[in-house]
């Protein structure tokens, strides 16, 4: 019997899970959600990037301080208690109320208390069984972990200022100054590494749990890395910054129908000629880490591998930028030689030109189809309308950057109501619109259909995860306990069987 290549999954970030500690984590609720996916016959759980986030970047997972480290706020206190690293009764006194929103500030405060005590308990011999495992982890991950621990220590000692505002000896990585710093702060450095070990351990336990249920984890890799990151600090030669660390060329996108100034992201672009001379080793390491964390990886802003928009760093808008050639086919040939068949999905959305499609298709990477983009002028020929799909795509009702379907129907999509009804062949209301759009994604020929959990539950615009180019109310939406219903499970089961997924 041939394997069914059609499949379906749910988009939900770890932070959006219910939890009594202010933010979703990798503990019991994550496994509970995996059980729900299994019972619903889902093959994929799609997530956002797992790297550390910062208050200064509004906790965007797409602007991280590290391309390799994990977000320690996702560590589960309940798992720590189960391993004897924290007292379960004391844990109950630190619980926060659940209000369907991620409280980053309170989550950080409470987890700082928990981590400090757990670290003390670990040093006193609790969780002794983990010690060899921790030593092995430090050795295996030293290539990025040693720099990360120093960077985090220097952040703490410099009032969280970005590295390019540190004293010169640290900013410019004077070897003797860094050795002296390390020698004088061995315990703090060890604790930073230990928290990364805990993140890795809990993540791999969750991944094994999901894989054993037949669920593949579908991750997300941002193209750029934050200017204030350990990567730029430790590898200045790979980025468009001068010898003093000042940014020269900034990343962004040009003006378009959505923004007359374009978007300026405040991240340095890569020096691809230098990366090429080093056989793309920084990227190879980054891919290796993501392929260890995930079964499939979405390459965010895929078009920049073909060509990217570079803006002089002193500009206030993205208008005066230039298109520069990306690394193109040679890059993926080197990556393919290293890893063999690549488990990548190309985020081929936005203003895309033919070379981007050619690059995607040269390596047979699936692209993305978003139903919210399907309606409007020229709809019958629109590439996002299901009758124009081909098999090698992932179909979505919307992504983390879109409104929920119910919110879209009420807001951006209100002018398309008649057109949508004609296409679907029945009258619609706000109450059943999400059902019909979910069915369209499932019934398409796209080999994978992914639905944000908000669309399965029919949530309105208050369930939106992110509004691009808006700095407020992003990355905060969260499920309440019991919000994922038996009815949702039944619907997914029905659609999975009906549409052979």
| Residue 179 burial by Cβ neighbours in a 10 Å radius (0-12, 13-18, 19+) | exposed
Instruction: State how far the Cα of 439 lies from the Cα of 253, in Å rounded to an integer.
Output: 33
Residue 401 appears among annotated catalytic residues:
yes
First to last CA, the chain: 15
- Pick the catalytic residue from 35, 338, 401, 489: 401
Q: Which of 341, 345, 332, 351 is nearest to 447 (CA)?
A: 345
Residues linked to residue 420 through DSSP beta bridges, in sequence order: none
- Pick the catalytic residue from 54, 147, 220, 300: 300
Order across the sheet with 249-253: list the strands: 263-268, 249-253, 307-312, 322-325
Which alpha helices (DSSP H) does 100-249 contain, by range?
Answer: 104-123, 131-140, 142-157, 168-171, 175-184, 186-212, 230-234
Cα atoms in the Cβ-side hemisphere of radius 13 Å centred on 332: 22
Instruction: State how far the Cα of 107 lies from the Cα of 249, in Å rounded to an integer.
Output: 35
CB 206 within 8 A of CB 34: yes
- Pick the catalytic residue from 141, 310, 347, 460: 347
Residue 347 appears among annotated catalytic residues:
yes
CB 492 within 8 A of CB 456: yes
Catalytic positions: 300, 347, 401
């Amino acid at each position: 019997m041939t394997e069914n290549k059609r499949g379906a999954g749910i988009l939900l970030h770890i932070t959006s899970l219910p939890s009594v500690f202010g933010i979703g984590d990798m503990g019991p609720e994550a496994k509970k959600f995996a059980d729900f996916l299994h019972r619903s016959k889902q093959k994929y759980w799609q997530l956002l990037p797992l790297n550390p986030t910062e208050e200064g970047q509004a906790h965007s997972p797409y602007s991280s301080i590290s391309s390799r480290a994990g977000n320690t706020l996702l560590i589960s206190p309940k798992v720590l208690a189960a391993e004897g690293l924290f007292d379960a009764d004391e844990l109950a006194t630190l619980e926060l109320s659940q209000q369907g929103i991620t409280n980053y500030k309170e989550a950080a405060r409470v987890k700082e208390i928990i981590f400090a005590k757990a670290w003390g308990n670990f040093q006193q011999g609790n969780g002794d069984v983990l010690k060899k495992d921790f030593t092995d982890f430090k050795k295996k991950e030293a290539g990025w972990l040693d720099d990360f621990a120093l960077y985090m220590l220097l952040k703490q000692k410099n009032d969280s200022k970005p590295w390019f505002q540190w004293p010169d000896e640290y900013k410019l990585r004077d070897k003797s100054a860094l050795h002296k710093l390390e020698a004088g702060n061995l315990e703090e450095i060890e604790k930073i590494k230990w928290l990364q070990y805990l993140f890795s351990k809990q993540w791999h336990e969750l991944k094994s749990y999901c894989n054993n249920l037949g669920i593949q984890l579908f991750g997300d890799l941002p193209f750029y890395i934050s200017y204030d990151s350990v990567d730029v600090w430790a590898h200045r030669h790979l980025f468009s910054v001068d010898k003093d660390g000042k940014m020269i060329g900034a990343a962004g996108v040009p003006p378009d129908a959505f923004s007359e100034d374009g978007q300026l992201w405040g991240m340095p672009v890569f020096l691809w000629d230098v990366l090429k001379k080093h056989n793309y080793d920084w990227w190879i390491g980054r891919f290796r880490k993501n392929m260890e964390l995930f079964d499939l990886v979405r390459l965010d802003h895929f078009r920049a591998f073909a060509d990217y928009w570079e803006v002089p760093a002193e500009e206030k808008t993205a208008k005066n930028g230039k298109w520069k050639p990306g690394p193109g086919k040679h890059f993926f040939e080197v990556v393919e030689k290293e890893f063999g068949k690549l488990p990548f999905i190309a985020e081929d959305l936005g203003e895309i030109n033919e070379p981007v499609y050619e690059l995607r298709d040269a390596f047979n990477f699936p692209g993305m189809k978003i139903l919210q983009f399907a309606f409007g002028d020229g709809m019958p020929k629109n590439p996002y309308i299901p009758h124009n799909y081909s098999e090698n795509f992932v179909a979505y009702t919307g992504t983390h950057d879109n409104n929920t379907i119910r919110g879209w129907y009420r807001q951006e999509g209100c002018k398309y109501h008649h057109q949508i009804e004609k296409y679907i062949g029945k009258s619609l209301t706000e109450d059943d619109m999400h059902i019909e759009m979910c069915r369209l994604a499932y019934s398409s020929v796209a080999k994978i259909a992914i639905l944000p959990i908000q669309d399965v539950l029919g949530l309105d615009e208050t369930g939106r995860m992110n509004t691009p180019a808006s700095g407020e109310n992003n990355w905060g939406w969260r499920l309440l306990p019991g919000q994922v219903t038996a009815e949702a499970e039944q619907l997914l089961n029905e659609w999975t069987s009906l549409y052979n997924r």
